[in-house]
Amino acid sequence: MADTPNEISVRELRLALAGTLNNVTVRGRIIYVTNHGRRIAAIVPVPVAEQSEQMRG
């Protein structure tokens, strides 16, 4: 993975998608996807996403 355990580059994500999704699903981790060192997206566990949607109303 990239600089920190909770970040992965787009390139690395292409190679390690299954493992990354496992980290998110089983371990409840939030993983930030980076492009040229900049965070561009996050992969979050479903409960986190659902809670965010509920808070938005």
pLDDT tens per residue, range 41-51 = 999 999 999 99
Q: Specify the pTM.
A: 0.83
* Nearest one of 15, 17, 55 to 43, comparing CA atoms: 17
pLDDT for 57: 76
The full set of domain ranges for the chain reads 7-56
The tens digit of pLDDT for each residue in 1-57 reads 444 579 999 999 999 999 999 999 999 999 999 999 999 999 999 999 999 999 987
Q: Cβ of 30: how many Cβ atoms within 10 Å? A: 12
Give the C-alpha separation, 24 to 51, whole Å.
16
Q: How far is CA 42 from the centre of its chain?
A: 4
Instruction: Say yes or no: domain 7-56 is CATH 3.40.1620.10.
Output: yes
